[in-house]
Structures are given as structure tokens and as C-alpha cells.
Amino acid sequence: MKTSTCKYAQCLYFTSNALARKVEKLAIESWKRVDLPPSHGYLLMLVLEEPGMQPGNIAAQLQLTPSTITRLIEKLEERKLVVRITEGKISNVYPTPKAKELLPELKACVQDFSEANSKVLGKEETSKLVQGMNKFSDKLSG
């Protein structure tokens, strides 16, 4: 059934969650090549782009709670893709050499996801949707 024909199709909560589930499915498919969930992949790319990033900054960038970031980092540590180094009260996250080798594949996953979105909506429509969602999200943040 199409979301637009569902009983609660006029409800932002219902529609945004339906969209999020469908986008998540597309993203998971795009990230299969590196055997990582999208959230892990984006975290890893942040750390590759800025080695030594602190978990609080990662949480802010990914719009996730600190406890979620901790769990994601632990999973990446298990896969030997990141290491945490604690200096006093501050913890910094660094990519491992294994993670550095993955960077081209991670970027390809982002590209695959972008192409999948563009196939459905077109580049311009996808861009407008993302811009509108960012604007609304920023307004909800206060």
C-alpha cells in the first residue's frame, strides 16, 4: 500500500516515520558492500575525516544520543576499525589502518545511496526534499 493512501497519510509523524523506514531500507542495501549498517559507516567516515574526534562531537554531527554513539563505537572497536584513546577525562576516537583502507568503499556506499535516491526522485527533487527536511528539523530544534 502506498503511504499516500493510508489512513494517517496527512499526519507528519506517520508519514515521516514511513519515509524513514523506506529510506533506511535503501541505505542498508547501499552499505552492504562494506558489511556495516549506515550509522556505523557514517561514524567511521567522520573519524576518518577528523581523527581524534570526541564522542560528543560525533553525537552532535550524527544527531544521535551519546549512549548510541558509545554503542556504535564499541561495535566498530570489535571490528578493529576504530580505537579510543583516553587522555584524562577526554576520550578521542581514531581510525585504524584497516578503516583507512575502507575509505574508498565507504565513499562508494554514499554514492550508491545517492544514486538510488536520484533514481526514485531525481537529483533536483531529492535535493529539494533534503533541504526542506533540514529546514524543518532546524526549526524544531529551536
What is residue 108's predicted lDDT score, i.e. its pLDDT?
97
Whether 113 maps to a domain, the answer reads: yes
What's the pLDDT band for 46 if we cut at 50, 70, 90? very high
Residue 113: give its domain's CATH number. Answer: 1.10.10.10
Domain count of the chain?
1
Whether 15 maps to a domain, the answer reads: no
Of the candidates 76, 73, 49, 48, which has an alpha carbon nearest to the alpha carbon of residue 59? 73
Quick one: average pLDDT of 10-35?
94
Judged against a pLDDT cut of 80, whether residue 142 lies above it is answered with no
What is residue 102's predicted lDDT score, i.e. its pLDDT?
96
What's the pLDDT band for 19 if we cut at 50, 70, 90? very high
Rounded to whole angstroms, how far apart are CA atoms 58 and 1? 37
Whether 86 maps to a domain, the answer reads: yes
Rounded to whole angstroms, how far apart are CA atoms 72 and 89? 20
Range of the structural domain that residue 65 is part of: 33-141
Residue 10: exposed, middle, or buried by beta-carbon count in 10 A (0-12, 13-18, 19+)?
exposed
Q: Using only the alpha carbons of the chain, give its radius of gyration.
A: 17
What is residue 25's predicted lDDT score, i.e. its pLDDT?
94
Amino acid 112 reads: D
Whether 40 maps to a domain, the answer reads: yes
What is residue 87's predicted lDDT score, i.e. its pLDDT?
86
Whether 136 maps to a domain, the answer reads: yes
Q: Which are the contacts of 117, defined by CB distance < 8 A and separation ≥ 6?
A: 26, 126
Q: What is the pTM of this model?
A: 0.90
Whether 42 maps to a domain, the answer reads: yes
Rounded to whole angstroms, how far apart are CA atoms 61 and 83? 19
Whether 56 maps to a domain, the answer reads: yes
